[in-house]
Structure 1
Amino acid sequence: MKLLTKVAFTFTLLIISFQPLIAQNQPIQITGKVVESGGRQPVEYATVMVKAVSDDSMVDGTTTAEDGSFTLTTENPDVYLEISFIGFETLIVADVKINKGTANVGTIALSQDEQTLDEVVVRGEKSQTEFKLDKRIFNVGQDLSSTGASALEVLNNVPSVAVNIEGQISLRGSQGVRILINGKPSVLTSEGGNALGTITADMIERIEVITNPSAKYEASGTSGIINIVIKKEEKRGLNGSVTLNTGVPNNHSLGLSLNNRTEKFNLFSQLGVGHRTFPQQYRTINRDLTSNNTVRSQGESDKNETFFNIILGTDYHINENNVLSLTGHFAYELETEFSDTDFDFLDETNTLASQWNRDEETEATNPKYQYELQYKKDFPDNRGADHEEHTLLFSAIGNFFGKDQSSEFNNTPVMNGEAFSQQQQTRTDFKEGEYTFQLDYTHPFNEVFTLESGAQYVYTDVTNDFSVSNRADNNDWVVDPDLTNVFDFDLEVLGVYSTGAYEGDKFGVKLGLRLESTDMRTLLVTTDESSQQNFTNLFPTAHTSYKLNDNFSLQAGYSRRIYRPGLWDLNPFTNIRNNFSISAGNPLLQPEFTDSYEVTSIFDKGPVSFSGAVYHRYTTDVIEEVATFEDNVSFSRPENIGINRATGLELNGKYNPTEWWTLNGDFNYNYFSREGDFEDISFDFTANQWSGRLTNKFKLPADIDLEVISNYRSAYQTFQMDISGYFFADLGVRKKIMNGKTILNLSIRDVFASRIFESETVRSRQPDFYLYDYRLRGRFITVGISYGFGKGEAMEFSGQKRF
């Protein structure tokens, strides 16, 4: 849609450029804004033409910006405006009043052309990547390989973002990323519950990557912020789409999206149900380099999830300047997991001494819900016209995530394995509540200067009741008091901020300061062990941009960030899935602090667009997993280990060799220097890592789109481990039928089943023991069909869809 609009507009300008110009004495600047008549949403890329009253000839023209605004210049005082956009009725503004060389026509409301919308289906995709002053936007609708995928898998296809096989998210090679939904914190992004799995690709509008957030955002997340924006349609009438996916291994889902827009109300909903399986193959080695005893394991597991989620919401337009919104999101999961692992014990001569088998059966239910009340007020400007950038926004959000889980583990001797014969049970009763209250005020004093200020209060309350029982000789279950306790975690964060921004035609700058006060408390209820941390910090931010010409611009940014240890970092309970590889949290952890610097260049001309960024991060009190070893059992927990200096280069490019072929490339290189001590041993080292992604998109005959994504992640080092590199590829095919109302999709993720995670200890830094870990998920194939009805769309984006 954008390309067609630009071409048509450019062609029109070329035609009228041959007409005689009328000489006038003084240039006149005409400004205004174009919005939809019903929802008052801005209309981007609407065509605005200035025409002479005398002969209806075109004097000047432009297209509206993202916020619907436009600026035109003419030397003819006797003119009128003609505003048009596909799907809307053309509007004439005859009353253009000029005062001292300027004319502000205020807000112009376009009415939808119902006949055109019903008879003609027009499709236009937004650019996959958009650059803003402090963030990059990736529109998910163009990602063909994400059919049937969860939010975690969608994130893995976003430049700068990586998701490992355990679901841990990193940004530019570093963890500590803050995940938001619709710009707000959410329990649905909780690290421990894999709740992002209930959000599917067809529910996601776009993903915003913010490597240097402004002071408006909570300072949490040393690597930056990833904001997942959920779709919310606002077209008039009843609209919707339905999506059905199936695949192997089990990946079956049904999604339904509905909205009904009236003059006062916008009712919107999304419903999703499904079942999926995540198989895994794994191998481990634990070797004592002093005694030379070795424990090896290998096995397979299947994690099965049956999920249901629903989003319901309404916007009530009290009047044209006040909107009240209420949204609820409920998700429910039924989990089962089965694993079967064979263990070998080899003595100091590397001779097989004993064998046994350990199997697991786990069942869990995971209810999750979120509700939000939001009020938005638009203030009229001093000319009496609507000014949607002058706003007051209040929101109150409640989140809940629960887990009721039970597991049984059975060790069965195979050869001389009686010493390892054991039966165990675990029980988990987990509850997490999070409550957020936020107030934001934005005041643009004129066209170039804007002030933002606000406050946020977040309260998190977590209880984890965890119990381990062993089977006694009399077959009774006996609770293990060393592994059983109730862990309470409370976190309160109060933040206030203010930012000021100047955005001229060529130069822009945005400065901000945020103050946050943090109160963290932990308590082991059974043993009455507690800890508390209170601290207050300032977080300055700065962003600037300079436009050298129409095709090339520079951006720079700075922010100070914090990573507060979360529940799974602090919880001291152990994971006994593998009795020889045990992990636990550390309630004494201190927060990480990061100073982040970044300079970015952006070039965009014709078929080529390119951006390059150089960045540096300085992090203190780095949190890293540290493994210790005793009796062939590795025990890992997070510790604060020194400082980290990371310097990187990131390149992103897009090239259209032809109308039917598009190339997108991403490259990220990261060099880091670590300085740290643990138990009087120096762990200073330097290392690097890099990753690359190449995406080929082809528009084939018969309205077929093909997408091939190839990825490479290099090997890298951590505090104690070497992590291997790997290559993997994704494939997506899309076919439109019924004038684009129905879309058929095929996606293959990890085509060659080559996305393998391997890690092993570094001998030079860990001379007493050797650990090896191998994990493989395998290939996922999904086919899907999507149908849009009313004015709804089948898993695509339209130029008329509003955020």
Structure 2
Amino acid sequence: MKKIKFAVLLVLFFTSFYNYAQQAPPGRNKVKVTGKVLEKVSKQPLEYAIISFKAPNNTKVVADGVTNPKGEFEIAVAPGTYDIKVEFISFKSTEIKGKTISGDTSLGVVSLSEDAAQLNEVVVRAEKSTVEIKLDKKVYSVGQDMMVKGGTVSDVLDNVPSVSVDTEGNVSLRGSDNIRILIDGRPSNAINIAEALRQLPADAIDKVEVITNPSARYDAEGGSGLINIILKKGKNQGFNGTFIASTGIPETYGLSGNLNYKTEKLNYFTTLGYNHRTNEGAGLTNTEYLNADGTPKGFLDEDRDTKRTSDGFNGRAGIEWTVAPNTYWTNAINYQKNSGDTRDLINYNNFDASHAFTGTSFRLNDGETGSQNVEYTSNLIKNFNDKGHKLTADLSISKNDDDSNSTITASPNYNTTLNNQVQKQVLFQADYVLPLGKGSQFEAGYKGSFGDLNNEYFVTDENGLKDPNLSNTLEYKENINALYTQYGFKVNKFSYLFGLRWEDTNIHVNLLETSDFNTKKYNNLFPSAFISYEISDQSSFSASYSKRLTRPRGRFMNPAVNYSSNINIFQGNPDLDPSLTDKYDIGYIKRWSKLTFNTSAYFEDTKDVFSFVRTPNGNLVNGIPVILNRPINLGKEQKFGFEFTLNYTPFKIWRINSNFNFYNVKTTGENTYVDFNGNTVVQNLDNQANTWFARINSKLTLPYKIDWQLSANYNGSQKTAQGKNLDMFGMNTALSKDVMKDKATIAFNISDIFNSRIMRSYTYLQNSTTLESQTAYSEMQFRKRQFNLSFTYRFNKPKGERDKNAAPKEGDGGGDFPG
């Protein structure tokens, strides 16, 4: 009954907005005024240009509207005589005085020129909104967000609508971590994605695209969608660049530079950066052990104190060559080198059934980490004409080394661990686009991805002897070949896009120490369909479907035991199968002169979903049972939710964007295992829960041209199969001031003002053999409150630069709908 009520409310929600949109076209006494607004020099369309109508000698606006992505507008007005004004931030406005309108009228093409005087003004500089809302994706511009100055890509993603980053650096989209992360349109080649994102500086990022329901053009992997991180590449003619220096508390400092030299045919670009970061974290776990009759058996309190330091160098250099007026070839080298130290101290306090103190012990993990990543990329774009007929080809060759070792001191002994990983990957992709007349387009392409990972992990005791139960060498090979085709066309106000992707996967998971060899071969077809209806120039409606895939990777499949805690152990599962998701999405977007509203309802049906289960492994440490945490293919998961995003500019000096996401997730499945006494145990893991997420970001220009930004996010609590995750709140703020005639900017930000971003959870476990159980309350804070100060200097580069004649960017991909 609750589901029916929720569905009815959702239908009413969409119906109300559709009815509102239907009221927008002209009524019985109104006529339509149409036209197109272009930039005078480049002839590029200007989206969000404002067209206003006033009666002569009257300052009151009687009608107005904004242009769509093609620069077109359609506005309903009553017949009469008007002064019509066309304006766009940092451009000279154009006025048409005394225009008499008696019927449907076309104003034709209106061309606007940049206003040099306004370009030098801070208050009216040419800045797009931090978040651009489009029908098929959201685009987040990094350069205008003061909150991430001196931060990392993880900080960037944590400010993106629909995206969340937990305290351990794991990224999720609409509450799901079954996503695909791309860099410049290509899959990230990092071994540990979460760690790699924490190492890459935010200064290297241009923008982030979020696509919740990708078409057949994109990889099928990523059950809940994909995130495309686009790196900076210079645009302006001549020699120009940006330098950024930053420092912070806890001890953090860095220096980076983006340099660019562009001639008529060659564009040289480079990004270099060094950073030293300190992350201080903390955690606790309070466990109560219960007898079969529910009476207390004992208590254990764990207090964790963590400090991580890292030194990282990030470099990227490349050349974009305009081979011919319609052919662009870009080659680049990316290099990353990082090293760090980790100190993780856990104190254990034991108590008896009456909670009287009985003893204490500790566990100290001193570790060193190091990684080196090298990648060569090549991108070729051949435009056969200016109508979209083109061929693109991409090549990527990479090698990643990731090493870590640690000494674990515990009363009364100690261990050492070593984890060495080497990954090699080759990727090739070709895409062909052929327009077939007005409003229709054919696409086809191929992609091959070939990877090889070798992971050696072992644990030794105080005598230097390897523990065979905790050590192994993983050899993981993955070869994927894919073909796709899609066709899009437009009929009146309806646009259609239908696609089909085929992927063939061949995976080898070999455990060399135990001679356990596994081969997984499968191929799948992934259809997709998208339909959109243009209600007016300012509003559109869309519906889409796609089949998606999530392959288990990284630590999910690595059977090496994470030995950072000797009573709570994580271990991967090399026998995991991929999960398949059917995704349905219905979306609506509406634009006003100062407000953009986007909402969507979505449903995801996933088979063989990954889930973590906690089971006792039969061992005891100082009388405490050891709990093993591992992933399994649970069964089925269904998620139904809706979200909306708002961009609101009440005044030129104040911009607000917000995002809200609510969903219900239902999981059905069970876990069957043989316990340490030889008994077959069946865990029923059926679970249904509601949760929600909200974020709001406000940017205000204060007196003396000081910009102030404030953001807050909230994650609601969520029930799990073995407990509950509690709610979490965080707030950040930043101030910035342009100096040195706007050639430089000073920014100060505080991350997690109230030191409240702490993951909190309750867990309940029961031993099916003895009926003894345990309940635990846990807190984990990966990073405490931080303060950062940064200084940015630009030379030969306007702060509000616009790219007038640039070649198409790598990985942009454009919209999915033909137009």
SS of residue in 1 equivalent to 2:556:
helix
Deviations 1:34-60 (A, max 9, x none): 8988xxx9675699x9xxxxxxxxxxx
SS of residue in 2 equivalent to 1:677:
strand
1:661 CA drift (Å): 2.7
Distance 1:569 1:453 in 2: 33
Distance change (3 Å), C-alpha of 1:120 and 1:769: closer
Quote the residue 1:470 is aligned against: 461
Q: Does 1:247 align with 2:222?
A: no
SS of residue in 2 equivalent to 1:142:
coil
Quote the residue 2:83 is aligned against: none
Most deviating of 765-774 and 310-319? 765-774
CA contact (8 A) 1:500 1:510 kept: yes
Quote the residue 1:649 is aligned against: 642
SS of residue in 1 equivalent to 2:536:
coil
How many residues are matched?
Answer: 714
Distance 1:702 1:761 in 2: 52
Deviations 1:113-155 (A, max 9, x none): 9x99999998311133334443221222332211111111111
Q: Does 1:398 align with 2:402?
A: no
Distance change (3 Å), C-alpha of 1:192 and 1:666: closer
1:369 maps to amino acid: V
Q: Does 1:531 align with 2:518?
A: yes
1:587 CA drift (Å): 0.7
1:438 maps to amino acid: Q
1:558 CA drift (Å): 1.0
Deviations 1:590-646 (A, max 9, x none): 111111111111111122221111111111111011000243211110011111111
Quote the residue 1:345 is aligned against: 350
1:112 CA drift (Å): 11
2:696 maps to amino acid: L
Distance 1:783 1:624 in 2: 40
**Aligned positions of 1:63-142 closer than 5 A:** 123-142=125-144
Quote the residue 1:775 is aligned against: 780
Quote the residue 1:723 is aligned against: 725
SS of residue in 1 equivalent to 2:779:
strand
SS of residue in 2 equivalent to 1:752:
coil
Distance change (3 Å), C-alpha of 1:65 and 1:664: closer
Quote the residue 1:441 is aligned against: 432
Deviations 1:765-791 (A, max 9, x none): 997232332112221111111111012
Deviations 1:410-454 (A, max 9, x none): 113xxxxxxxx1110011111112211000011122331111110
Q: Does 1:598 align with 2:593?
A: no
CA contact (8 A) 2:131 2:647 kept: no
1:68 CA drift (Å): 8.9
Quote the residue 2:218 is aligned against: 217
Distance change (3 Å), C-alpha of 1:130 and 1:501: farther
State the TM-score, normalizing by the size of structure 1: 0.83
CA contact (8 A) 2:477 2:508 kept: yes
CA contact (8 A) 1:34 1:64 kept: no
Deviations 1:457-500 (A, max 9, x none): 0111100011111013xxxx111122122111111111110111
SS of residue in 1 equivalent to 2:136:
coil
CA contact (8 A) 1:125 1:799 kept: no
1:551 maps to amino acid: Q
SS of residue in 1 equivalent to 2:741:
helix
1:711 CA drift (Å): 1.2
Most deviating of 115-124 and 670-679? 115-124
1:30 CA drift (Å): 11
Distance 2:252 2:492 in 1: 49
Quote the residue 1:785 is aligned against: 791
Distance 1:126 1:88 in 2: 13
Distance 1:111 1:659 in 2: 20
- Name the % identity: 30
Deviations 1:195-235 (A, max 9, x none): 11232222211111111000000000111101111111221
Distance change (3 Å), C-alpha of 1:507 and 1:192: closer
Quote the residue 1:74 is aligned against: none
Quote the residue 2:503 is aligned against: 516
Distance 2:517 2:155 in 1: 38
Deviations 1:332-366 (A, max 9, x none): 00110112221123344443322112112111211
CA contact (8 A) 1:247 1:781 kept: yes
Deviations 1:234-266 (A, max 9, x none): 211001011111111122111100110111110
Q: Does 1:579 align with 2:572?
A: no
CA contact (8 A) 1:722 1:762 kept: no
2:511 maps to amino acid: L
Distance 1:770 1:86 in 2: 58
Quote the residue 1:422 is aligned against: 413
Q: CA RMSD in A?
A: 3.4
Distance change (3 Å), C-alpha of 1:569 and 1:86: closer
Distance change (3 Å), C-alpha of 1:712 and 1:111: closer
1:780 maps to amino acid: Q
Quote the residue 1:620 is aligned against: 607
Unaligned runs of at least 5 residues, structure 2? 1-33, 52-64, 75-86, 93-107, 673-681, 810-819
Distance change (3 Å), C-alpha of 1:111 and 1:235: farther
Distance 1:428 1:576 in 2: 11
Most deviating of 624-633 and 574-583? 624-633
Distance change (3 Å), C-alpha of 1:69 and 1:181: farther
Most deviating of 543-552 and 658-667? 658-667
Quote the residue 1:660 is aligned against: 653
Most deviating of 591-600 and 193-202? 193-202
Distance change (3 Å), C-alpha of 1:165 and 1:563: same
SS of residue in 2 equivalent to 1:739:
coil
Quote the residue 1:640 is aligned against: 633
1:673 CA drift (Å): 1.4
**Aligned positions of 1:449-468 closer than 5 A:** 449-468=440-459
Q: Does 1:173 align with 2:175?
A: yes
Deviations 1:665-706 (A, max 9, x none): 211101111111112332222111101112222111211111
Distance 2:175 2:686 in 1: 19
Distance 1:505 1:593 in 2: 35
Q: Does 1:315 align with 2:320?
A: yes
Deviations 1:548-573 (A, max 9, x none): 12332211111110000102111111
State the TM-score, normalizing by the size of structure 2: 0.81
1:663 maps to amino acid: I
Distance change (3 Å), C-alpha of 1:44 and 1:395: farther
Most deviating of 243-252 and 655-664? 655-664
1:797 CA drift (Å): 5.5
1:376 CA drift (Å): 1.2
Most deviating of 644-653 and 496-505? 496-505
**Aligned positions of 1:704-715 closer than 5 A:** 704-715=706-717
CA contact (8 A) 1:455 1:495 kept: yes
Distance change (3 Å), C-alpha of 1:661 and 1:131: closer
Distance change (3 Å), C-alpha of 1:126 and 1:658: closer
Distance change (3 Å), C-alpha of 1:442 and 1:143: same
Distance 2:748 2:121 in 1: 27
Distance 1:179 1:532 in 2: 25
Q: Does 1:237 align with 2:238?
A: yes
Quote the residue 2:151 is aligned against: 149
Q: Does 1:678 align with 2:671?
A: yes
1:450 maps to amino acid: Q
Match of 2:363 among 352, 358, 371: 358
Distance 1:353 1:30 in 2: 81
Unaligned runs of at least 5 residues, structure 1? 1-28, 50-61, 72-83, 90-104, 381-385, 413-420
Match of 1:543 among 519, 522, 530: 530
1:659 CA drift (Å): 3.2
SS of residue in 2 equivalent to 1:202:
helix
CA contact (8 A) 1:186 1:399 kept: no
Quote the residue 2:742 is aligned against: 740
